A = this chain, B = another copy of it.
Amino acid sequence: MDFLKAITAREAREIIGAFPIEINTEIVGIEDVQGRVLARDLVSKSAIPSFTRSLVDGYAVKAKDTQGAKETTPAFLNLKGEIRIGEEAHSALFDGEAIYVATGSMVPGGCDAIVMQEYARLATDAVEITRAVYQGENICYEGEDIAYGGIILKKGRKVTAFDRGVLAAIGAAEVEVNKAPQVALISSGDEIVSVDEIVPLGKVRDINRYTVSGLLRDAGAYAHFLGLSRDNIPDITEKLLSASNHSMILISGGSSKGERDFITTSIEKLGGTILFHGINIKPGKPAIFGQLFGKPIFGLPGHPGSCAMVTVRFVLPLVKRFQGEEYGNEIVIPARMTTNVPSTYGIEEYIRVTLKKDEDNRYCAQPIFSKSAVISPLAQADGYVVVSEGVEGIEKDETVEVYLFA
């Protein structure tokens, strides 16, 4: 590879970010909606709760009727029956009256506060209130949870467990979400054998298949492994052809220049184009990006460490874009670097770190120095720090932002 042609990380992000993709939607049931991305703003067609409810077991009253009420000088109110939970409140409350309500019961018209049971004594047809309540006390008003007509959950939001609760509250048994991309995954390399095979000397097992598909699934995409390809143009071409119906194609491998040339040649032979070959990042420099069958295709580096980082930094943002996911508010952990970390000017570096707490209960980031050919340091890392291309390393005790892996 001609490294002079390598582009900056920002240029790579711009090229990938400008790649035209189509977002399709589908309807899913509330059971299956978690982790999916909303295709449109969700508006409530009703107020939730749809009626004013009691928050406690006790007596629905007019707050003014309890003014000055104390243990020694209680207020006496006429007891006018009970509104049971789940029932519609047919009675209305007039001055000097109280109605028994349970937690969650509908509040009768005319009532503006609930006296907790603990502050009431029951007498025949009457109730003694031993503590004053303020207007609105122990009441959840109609629409207090979710207002009628308001946007509750925004388009582009990835649905959480709590969001499902909100969907249930408004009766959204089915929801329109963006389709998750179907990603084709191919491993290439004459040295690669499958995980369940005996490994002859000189060969290694296919690691990238499992890290990349795992990362894709965590991000909400479907990963389809299409097999191992040998290092030759006919075999690569055949595998790429079988990926033509997928949303995106990833082919990992091509550690040596010869192998990478097979990949770029195969893409071009099939009518695709190479948009860049080489990014000034570390690890991950030999990454390839292009277009094939109108779909985005990545040639991921063969080294497991490089392959994983290119996936995290460049493939997953495209997965998010396919899903229409908005992703501004990523949580990063501020941490103090425990040691000097050298880096090269002009290269965007990704430093894998573990997070520990120091004596002052502050996070510190311990860098894991390792070669890009190994996988185990990634399993040990909690996250990574980006050293931008305009910076020559990080100094000990400098505060950095740690992007979490999980």
Which A residues are within 8 Å of any B CB, using their own CB? 30, 34, 48-51, 53, 55, 57, 84-89, 102-106, 117, 140, 144-146, 152-153, 160-173, 189-192, 195-196, 199-215, 217-218, 231, 255-259, 302-304, 308, 329, 331, 333-334, 355, 361-363, 371-376, 378-379, 381-382, 404-406
Asked whether A146 and B376 contact (CB < 8 A) given A103-B256, A210-B30, A331-B333, the answer is: yes
- State the Cβ distance, A349 to closest chain B Cβ, in Å: 17
C-alpha gap A375/B94 in the complex (Å): 32
How far is it, in angstroms, between the C-alpha of A405 and the C-alpha of B201 when the chains are bound? 47
Q: Are B331 and A404 in contact (CB under 8 A)?
A: yes
Expressed in whole angstroms, the minimum distance between the Cβ of A359 and any Cβ of chain B is 15
Q: Contacting A85 at CB < 8 Å: which of B172, B205, B231, B404?
A: B231
Besides A57-B258, A145-B375, A169-B304, 11 other CB < 8 A contacts?
A: A50-B201, A55-B372, A85-B259, A86-B189, A86-B191, A88-B200, A146-B376, A164-B210, A173-B195, A173-B196, A334-B334
Contact of B171 with A202 in the complex, beta carbons under 8 Å: no
Which residues from B are CB-within-8-Å of A355? 329, 331
Q: Give chain B residues whose Cβ lies under 8 Å from the Cβ of A161.
A: 210-215, 217-218, 308
Inter-chain contact A255/B103, CB cutoff 8 Å: yes
Chain B residue at minimum C-beta to C-beta distance from A362: B334
Give 20 CB contacts A-B under 8 Å. Answer: A30-B210, A55-B303, A85-B202, A86-B189, A86-B190, A87-B202, A88-B201, A102-B258, A105-B202, A144-B371, A161-B211, A161-B217, A161-B218, A163-B379, A166-B375, A168-B195, A169-B205, A169-B304, A169-B375, A331-B404
